[in-house]
Amino acid sequence: MPRYRRPTGTLDILPEDQPHWDHVRNRARHLAELAGFERIDVPMFEATEVFARSIGAGTDTVDKEMYTFTDKGGHSLTLRPEFTAGVMRAFIENGLHVRPRPLKLYSVGATFRYERPQAGRYRQFAQFNAEILGEQGADADVEIMMLVWDLYAGLGFQDLAFQLNSTGCPQCKPVYVSRLEAHYAGYPDTICKDCVRRLTLSPLRVLDCKAAQCQPVIGRAPHFLDYVCEECAEHFATLRDYLDLLGREYVVNHRLVRGLDYYTKTVFEVWAAGIGAQAAVCGGGRYDGLIELLGGPPTPGVGVGVGLERIILVMKSLNVPVPPLPAPRVFLAHLGTAARREAVRLANAFRGEDLATWMSFGDRRLRSQLREAGKRSADFVVILGEDELAQGVASVKEMATGDQVEVGLVNLIGWLKSRL
């Protein structure tokens, strides 16, 4: 048993897993930049209030899952449970509203939630996050949705479909909420304790309840889409039209409400098999009132957060190939102290010329060094021995053919470069 173990709900991403990570991050960045998104990095922690106000008291994220601590200056800080709130804080603080609209921003990095760990659910996880600020049309919503669709499709995901719903706006939300409350008032003894609490704090969340006793009540609950105002209905219809135009599958899911309070109009998720029951590989939507709520100028917004660990789990379950780690092109083998000294010099010179070089360490037999060169998939092995050094040459072995030639040390870099 090791004396120290990683904290519950965290992962070590070992070197052999890095190709998957690089591939996913590179694809996400590439697709975002193709659509004109610019990168923004925000701190890993913010004043607790930034998250509490944005995500909303009464949500599981704020009430149960935040890593909140008081720093030595007595300030309450929280490790970011998501990107959106911090990006909005940065938008306001840096006066980004004066830039040409819309502003398209993406981020990648670690996020933290104190959740019960299980397959695909961690306490530290990585998100790719994208936001479009300053545009209220459904064309911005569809652009965000296409960004994640293209990411998943390009990574080999199959049977993709969006889960889609609308959570209205400040005009129609109260109307629907009072209908929902009236419906639930008919079942005071049936529903679970959590839903009793949700009804007072965050009523839409009752639709998301997993307790068996609540399912019949949810099944008979009114649908938000039957209560949305004209503007929200039109926005939703336009979005559906764009999705139909592009031939993207979606399911209108009347139970989809999302776990964060800032959403207005569109909400969506993509679920994927291979990670456990109904795990979302991304979730997002529109949040037209959030920037104002945080003290900024009224600015509509829409965005998405993508869980990277979950993507990688799906890719592994589908055996999606990824580009391998780059192998060293040149392996430097040496025999004897003087040769090792020359190897140190050459390794430095090769790398200075951008040649990926693995230098053998220590004092080992040539056979074992050649075996290692094979394991590391080097293209050429440069062998330095005392005799070679005395003549100012090295033996160079091409691993694919087994051919071996002598090359003058002064010409070595040029010789290797012309062949790699």
Q: Using the 8-state DSSP alphabet, how is residue 136 labeled? A: -
Please say which residue, 129 or 357, places its beta carbon nearer to ligand HAM: 129
Strands 124-133 and 103-112: antiparallel
Please say which residue, 86 or 203, places its beta carbon nearer to ligand HAM: 86
**Which residue from 48, 69, 240, 251 is spatially nearest to 161, judged by alpha carbons?**
251
Cα(303)–Cα(285) distance, rounded to whole angstroms? 6
Please say which residue, 142 or 304, places its beta carbon nearer to ligand HAM: 304
Interacting residue ranges for ligand HAM, rule: CB under 6 A: 82-84, 113, 115, 120-122, 125, 127, 129, 131, 259-260, 280-285, 303-305, 307, 309-310
Structure tokens at 122: 């961690």
Please say which residue, 97 or 121, places its beta carbon nearer to ligand HAM: 121
What's the min distance (Å) between Cβ of 125 and ligand HAM?
Answer: 4
What's the min distance (Å) between Cβ of 131 and ligand HAM?
Answer: 5
**Which residue from 352, 336, 347, 408 is spatially nearest to 378, judged by alpha carbons?**
347
Q: Which residue is closest to ligand HAM by CB?
A: 307
Check if the beta carbon of residue 281 is closer than 8 Å to that of residue 270: yes
Give the chain's radius of gyration (CA, Å).
28
What's the min distance (Å) between Cβ of 329 and ligand HAM?
Answer: 37
Q: Counting Cβ atoms within 10 Å, is residue 215 exposed (0-12), middle (13-18) or buried (19+)? A: exposed
Please say which residue, 304 or 370, places its beta carbon nearer to ligand HAM: 304
Please say which residue, 257 or 280, places its beta carbon nearer to ligand HAM: 280
Q: Using the 8-state DSSP alphabet, how is residue 401 labeled? A: T
* Coil, helix or strand at residue 162: strand
What's the min distance (Å) between Cβ of 373 and ligand HAM?
Answer: 40
Exposure pattern of 235-262 as b/e (b: 16+ CB <10 Å)?
bbeebeebbeeeebebeebbbbbbbbbb
What's the min distance (Å) between Cβ of 112 and ligand HAM?
Answer: 9
What's the min distance (Å) between Cβ of 365 and ligand HAM?
Answer: 48
Please say which residue, 313 or 332, places its beta carbon nearer to ligand HAM: 313
Q: How many residues would you count in the chain?
A: 420
What's the min distance (Å) between Cβ of 32 and ligand HAM?
Answer: 13
